[in-house]
Amino acid sequence: MMVLPTHRGEKRTADTIRSDDHPIEYYLHERYRVPGKKKLMRVYYGLRPFMPRSVQLALRRVYAKKQAQTEFPRWPIEPLLVERAERELAERIRQSAEGRVPLITMWPGNARAAVALTHDVEWGKGMRNIPRVRALEKRYGVVSSWNFVAERYPLDKELFKVLEREGCEIGLHGVYHDGKKFSSRAIFEERLPKINAYLQQWGAVGFRSPATHRNPEWMPEIAAEYDSSFPDTDPFEPQAGGCCSIFPFFLGRMVELPITLVQDHTLIEILQEKDIRLWIEKASWIIEHHGLVNIIIHPDYMMTDRNLGYYEEFLRFITRQENLWLALPREIARWWKDRAASCITTESGAPKIEGPAKDRGRVVWAVLESGNVHYIADSPLHQHQKSNHESSVR
């Protein structure tokens, strides 16, 4: 079993990290991580600017085999928080007088899960490739969010207007993309005014940190409605780890939308996968557990028919699923705030939603079947007993 060092030099195992004794913030805020990068990764990222691209990829591919074996968080699926939530809900059901618990659905209407299609534009070549990627999305009738680096390449403001007319969202992907924003408090404070100024100038409400560098204590100072820089689990990024959540959560007033699928560059170039099995299997698991499918596609890496074909396969898969909410990140974040600000009350013996989610949310009943939690749309318990699962939200 892997043994991990702690802050005080003691030894801890992946099993002790998984203990129910830890509060949920221990995982959401990645407090289990040991501060600082591993020595090998420090050396790699220090030398990377001087390496040919082919050498960078070769080293990443070799090291990725070791990274994929990380015991915590597990990759590609870390079920810890999903399983903990189900155990806690099952206990609430057992303790309830009626053997059922009313809940507000995770997503509006009849949606089983939510899907966000997001893009990080790394360089000018990626910006120039946006029309090609959008042409593919339009064939499938979907919209997406596009995160731009403010001062790394010339910005095409006319393209911003085109994307917004098509129903897409513009977000900020940092100012420089040099990996230094969270390296010290002084640098963060120096850059924060620029970050907030660009958000206001662009009318943007979403932020994603370059290279998914992140600090849960500082991020609420960014003047965005939501952030999307935390993977649920990703051992391959410069800041490896993950929040272990497939659901949004709050960082102060800010909503965090976790990145829940392996990034396109990792899938195609580092792992050299020949198909999108990892995307489909993980997305299917997330949908089964009513979570958020949040994918990053970089237009910079969609330059070939082969690479764009990976994305098309994913769009074909996701648009064929029933009862999914394909939404912009800002819509998902606002719904999550509305849901959190709402509650269930009882009127004439029937539960109803009070608060900003009342018009779009629904009440479902959580019940136990063979020890497992199921969600039933019909409120009378006898309807559930004769439903033979036909009314299950799942």
pTM, 2 dp? 0.90
Q: What is the dihedral of CA 135, 140, 142, 147, to 10 degrees?
A: -40
Q: Domain 113-329 classified CATH 3.20.20.370?
A: yes
Band of pLDDT at residue 379, cut at 50, 70 and 90: very low
For the chain, the structural domain boundaries read: 1-32, 90-106+336-387, 113-329
**Mean pLDDT on 185-201:** 97
* Structure confidence at residue 385 (pLDDT): 36
Taking all residues of the chain, what is their mean pLDDT, rounded to a whole number?
90
pLDDT > 90: percent of the chain: 78
Compute the distance between CA of residue 288 and CA of residue 170 in angstroms, rounded to an integer: 30
Is 48 strand, coil or helix? helix
Length of the chain: 394
Statement: residue 42 has pLDDT above 80: no
**Mean pLDDT on 348-377:** 94
pLDDT tens digits along 255-305: 999 999 999 999 999 999 999 999 999 999 999 999 999 999 999 999 999
Compute the distance between CA of residue 184 and CA of residue 170 in angstroms, rounded to an integer: 27
Cβ pair 183, 208 in contact under 8 A: no
